[in-house]
């Protein structure tokens, strides 16, 4: 049977659509040339898109998403790592697209800070607590006053995610309450609360090494050193963060998250990047990383959420750590984020939550990786530094000076912590205490090794 010749018209139609889109963007967006380049490059792959059942409708959907996410900048800064940082007017940022924030009263500064915010010190040699620097700072340029720096989303970013729906989001399944904790004892679980079940019990290919505490909390703080862990396959990630949780894992989990992560799929490289995340329905339909959906309100002009952190720690060399504080302003109910001693990043408004309008019933600190079991065996994606906790300072990753904010708005420096590592032969955790580091722990590991398969 003779092969039916494919008509050239679908390809020509797609080319026309791409041209119209790119010309329109260039006319309406001062950065249209860069986006147009992405469209032209994508047009060159039109045949492969048709072959996978995709076409101009998908391109239009992607471009609509990008147009909604990338707000008109007053200035653009090109970072040495290739990122474009757009300086967007404070009131024009994505947060205010949220239907619950249409009439939100912008809070430029917190009204009430936690008590006992003492400046941290360390007697360890080669610990450098940095006022967070990012690669785009190396350009010597800043965003003007009244604007916030936002990492621009590109078509490549969304294509790596595989779909518009997946881009910038986690997809966790509810945890299995029958699983055991790291000591082998069965962990109890109540569907209506988090008092007995840490987030790490999620078994959807996510593995953790964490310390956690339960109760009623209104904030958390820790210093964590920054590394560049190796990622085995592009759709895996490695992160280190603080979680503040409320609700149940069934369908109404509220979560506030902040830390650093390496995610080639999300960012297109292997640089450690500052990130935030939130959800109000157990990662189902609400929430996202950074500013990739409406929700988090950025107020500071110094830090771009999602941008690369530099410098990073090295084996037997300087240890660069960042201090993250998240707390609830008792007067407004908004949850603020601060880096170091003085850099306010912004806040999660009370309106986007349900349970976290009151308090967090669990706080977690530690690392997480995705294990897709490439080639049928455990991933070699590293957690933290890629070394086990037993290697100690200058080799292992750490969280130090861990604290929580109590109902009296006091920062408590010695919370009662439990630890959990689902697969300690792959990624472990060891906690300790000292006069200058307070509550701390080392954590992490290499993933795949002779005892982790």
Q: 3-state class of 368 per DSSP?
A: strand
The distance from CA 101 to its chain's CA centroid, rounded to whole angstroms, is 22
Give mean pLDDT, residues 312-330.
96
Name the residue among 155, 188, 125 with its Cα closest to residue 18. 155
Residue 256 sits in a domain whose CATH number is: 2.60.120.1270
Phi/psi region, residue 214 (left: phi>0; alpha: psi -120 to 50; beta: rest), is beta
Point out the catalytic residue in the list 364, 368, 395, 422. Answer: 368
> Which of the four pLDDT bands, split at 50, 70 and 90, describes residue 336?
very high
The confidence score (pLDDT) of residue 245 equals 96
Mean pLDDT across the chain: 84
Q: Is residue 9 part of a domain?
A: no
Mean pLDDT value of segment 345-366 = 97
pLDDT in tens, 386-414: 999 999 999 999 999 999 999 999 999 99
Tokens 């996510």 belong to 206
- Do the domain assignments include residue 100? no
Average pLDDT on 193-208 reads 62
Among 208, 186, 206, 188, CA closest to 197: 188
**Percent of the chain predicted with pLDDT > 70:** 78
Task: Give the count of beta carbons closer than 10 Å to the beta carbon of residue 142.
Answer: 15
Of the chain, the percentage scoring pLDDT greater than 90 comes to 70
pLDDT for the residue 58:
78
Q: What pLDDT band is residue 188 in, cutting at 50, 70 and 90?
A: very low
Confidence of residue 50 (pLDDT cuts 50, 70, 90): very low
**Cα-trace Rg, the chain:** 22
pLDDT one-digit tens code per residue, 133-158: 899 999 989 999 999 999 999 999 99
Whole domain around residue 229: which residue ranges? 206-444
Residue 109 appears among annotated catalytic residues: no
Give the pair of three-digit tokens for residue 232. 């085995």
Give Cα separations from 232 to 129, 160, 202, 214, 373 (angstroms): 29, 16, 21, 33, 10
Q: Does the structure show a pLDDT above 80 at 88?
A: yes
- Is 301's pLDDT higher than 80? yes
**pLDDT attached to residue 203:** 55
**So what's the pLDDT on residue 433?**
95
Query: For 308-318, what is the mean pLDDT?
Result: 95
Rounded mean pLDDT of 192-202?
49
Q: What pLDDT is attached to residue 122?
A: 61
Q: Of 110-124, 129-143, 330-344, where does the model show the most confidence?
A: 330-344
Q: How much is the pTM?
A: 0.85
Among 257, 265, 364, 422, the one annotated catalytic: 257
pLDDT of res. 253 = 93
For the chain, how many structural domains are there in total? 1
Residue with tokens 């995709």: 54
Instruction: Look at residue 70 and tell me if it is in a domain.
Output: no
Q: Does residue 177 belong to any structural domain of this protein?
A: no
Is 124 in the active site? no
Q: Between 123 and 202, where is the model more confident? A: 123
- Please say if the pLDDT value at position 282 is more than 50: yes
Is the pLDDT at 116 greater than 70, yes or no? yes
Mean pLDDT within 357-380: 95
Residue with more model confidence, 68 or 179: 68
Higher pLDDT, 452 or 187: 452
In this structure, what is the dihedral angle of CA atoms 385, 388, 392, 394, given to the nearest 10 degrees? -20
Domain annotation covers residue 194: no
Q: Tell me, what DSSP letter sits at residue 115?
A: B
């Amino acid at each position: 049977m003779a092969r039916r010749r494919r008509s050239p018209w679908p390809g020509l139609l797609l080319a026309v659509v791409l041209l119209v889109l790119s010309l329109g963007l260039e006319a309406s967006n001062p950065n249209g040339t860069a986006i147009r380049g992405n469209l032209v490059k994508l047009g060159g792959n039109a045949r492969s898109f048709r072959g996978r059942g995709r076409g101009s409708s998908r391109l239009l959907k992607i471009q609509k998403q990008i147009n909604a996410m990338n707000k008109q900048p007053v200035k653009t800064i090109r970072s040495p790592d290739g990122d474009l940082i757009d300086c967007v007017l404070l009131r024009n940022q994505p947060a205010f697209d949220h239907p619950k924030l249409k009439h939100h009263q912008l809070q430029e500064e917190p009204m009430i800070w936690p008590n006992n915010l003492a400046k941290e010190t360390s007697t360890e040699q080669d610990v450098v607590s940095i006022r967070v620097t990012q690669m785009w700072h190396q350009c010597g340029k800043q965003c003007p006053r009244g604007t916030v720096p936002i990492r621009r989303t590109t078509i490549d970013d969304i294509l790596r995610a595989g779909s518009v729906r997946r881009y910038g989001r986690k997809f966790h399944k509810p945890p299995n309450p029958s699983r055991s904790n790291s000591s082998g004892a069965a962990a109890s679980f109540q569907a209506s609360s988090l008092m007995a079940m840490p987030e790490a019990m999620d078994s959807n290919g996510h593995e953790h090494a964490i310390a956690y505490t339960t109760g009623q909390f209104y904030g958390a703080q820790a210093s964590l050193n920054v590394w560049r862990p190796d990622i085995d396959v592009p759709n895996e990630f490695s992160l280190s963060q603080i979680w503040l949780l409320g609700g149940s894992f069934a369908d109404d989990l509220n979560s506030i998250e902040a830390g650093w992560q390496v995610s080639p799929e999300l960012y297109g490289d292997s640089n450690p990047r500052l990130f935030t995340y939130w959800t109000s329905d157990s990662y189902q339909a609400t929430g996202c990383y950074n500013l990739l959906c409406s929700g988090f309100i950025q107020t500071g002009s110094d830090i771009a959420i999602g941008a690369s952190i530099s410098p990073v720690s090295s084996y037997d060399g300087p240890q660069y750590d960042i201090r993250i504080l998240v707390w609830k302003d008792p007067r407004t109910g908004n949850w603020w984020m601060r880096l170091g001693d003085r850099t306010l990043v912004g806040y999660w408004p009370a309106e986007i939550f349900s349970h976290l309008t009151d308090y967090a019933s669990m706080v977690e600190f530690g690392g997480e990786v995705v294990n897709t079991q490439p080639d049928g065996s455990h991933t070699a994606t590293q957690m933290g530094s890629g070394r086990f906790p037993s290697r100690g300072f200058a080799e292992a990753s750490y969280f130090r000076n861990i604290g929580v904010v109590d109902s009296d708005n006091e920062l408590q420096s010695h919370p009662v912590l439990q630890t959990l590592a689902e697969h300690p032969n792959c990624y472990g955790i060891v906690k300790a205490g000292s006069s200058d580091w307070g509550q701390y722990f080392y954590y992490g590991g290499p993933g795949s090794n002779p005892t982790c398969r």
